[in-house]
Amino acid sequence: MRGAVERPGLHVRMAEGLLLAGVLVAAGFRLLAPGDPEPAPPAAGVLCRVDLNRAPWFELACLPGLGPTRAKEIVRDREERGPFATPEDLDRVPGIGPATVAAVRDWLTVERAGGE
């Protein structure tokens, strides 16, 4: 058929999916299925942290105890009230209390003004 665009076959779509999964795993992401336990916080000295003052909502949503709704609230609060000084400042965001702060504290870093 002339001019028809051929759709990729199943093998191409599977290869793309495996490539994406490999990239995510190499970047330190872990995909969770419903009912999977929350991942453990990183061990001391782990280099992979999320900057609370720069991370987009979709990065924050990957942290234990958060999710898209709370992550968007964190970004909204940051935009309206300014940067966070410490991870503990997350408790200023409605819906986030001490238990959530404790669950994400080890995953977070807070860049100071000027990149200190």
Evaluate whether residue 42 is within a structural domain.
no
Structurally, how many domains does the chain consist of? 1
In terms of DSSP bridges, do strands 50-51 and 108-109 run parallel, antiparallel, or are they unpaired? parallel
Evaluate whether residue 63 is within a structural domain.
yes
Evaluate whether residue 69 is within a structural domain.
yes
Phi and psi at 15, nearest 5°, equal: -65, -40
Phi and psi at 30, nearest 5°, equal: -130, 125
Evaluate whether residue 66 is within a structural domain.
yes
**CATH code of the domain in which 101 resides:** 1.10.150.320
Evaluate whether residue 31 is within a structural domain.
no
Q: What is the DSSP letter of 86?
A: S
Q: Could you list the residue range(s) of the whole structural domain that residue 105 is in?
A: 50-109
Over its length of 116 residues, how does the chain's per-residue pLDDT go in tens digits? Answer: 565 556 667 666 666 766 655 555 554 555 555 665 555 555 554 456 889 999 999 899 988 888 899 999 999 999 999 999 999 999 999 989 999 999 888 888 888 654 54
Evaluate whether residue 35 is within a structural domain.
no
